[in-house]
Amino acid sequence: MDAYDDLVTELFGVVGRFRRQLRRSTGGGGFDRSGLTQSQAELLRLVGRKPGISVREAATELSLAANSASTLVSRLAADGLLIREVDDADRRVGRLRLAVPAQRIADDSRHARRAAMADALDELDPSQIDQLAKGLTVLAELTRILQERQP
């Protein structure tokens, strides 16, 4: 582990600074300014990207226990941000979509983040874009490994 200490520290630092700067570059809007917990905001962003996702699929994607996801869904539905509907094919499955106000926030936030990233990517040269793409592949693999090791 000691051999990777510097790499781990740098990875955490770079990813953290990236996320914070992206929020600042886009006005810090979206669900981050709404007083929601990080888990609530992540669930809303996920449902915004994947309308109709099941509660179970959302829990898996966010690495949450089923009961934790259910609690988040119940709270966000009670707050009028999330709509839970019964699946037509299997009445035991809950499908999620954003309520209109939450969908508006998600759409505006996604548009601002994508525009900021596109502008920044325009300033990189092709070799940097290639390195970034390769780095994302490695980050995806690290994520997969961590998910498999999760109890």
pLDDT tens digits along 94-108: 899 999 988 888 888
CB 64 within 8 A of CB 47: no
Please give the average per-residue pLDDT across 7-23, as a whole number: 89
Amino acid at 70: S
- Domains belonging to the chain, first-starting first, are 2-149 (1.10.10.10)
User: Is the entire prediction scored with pTM above 0.85?
Assistant: no
**Of 57, 58, 25, 19, residue with least CA distance to 40:** 58
- State yes or no: pLDDT of 33 exceeds 80: no
Q: Which phi and psi angles does 20 have, rounded to 5°?
A: -65, -45
Per-residue pLDDT band for 32 (boundaries 50, 70, 90) equals low
94, β-bridge pairs: 86
**Is-contact 106 30, C-beta < 8 A?**
yes
Q: Tokens standing for 85? A: 């509907």
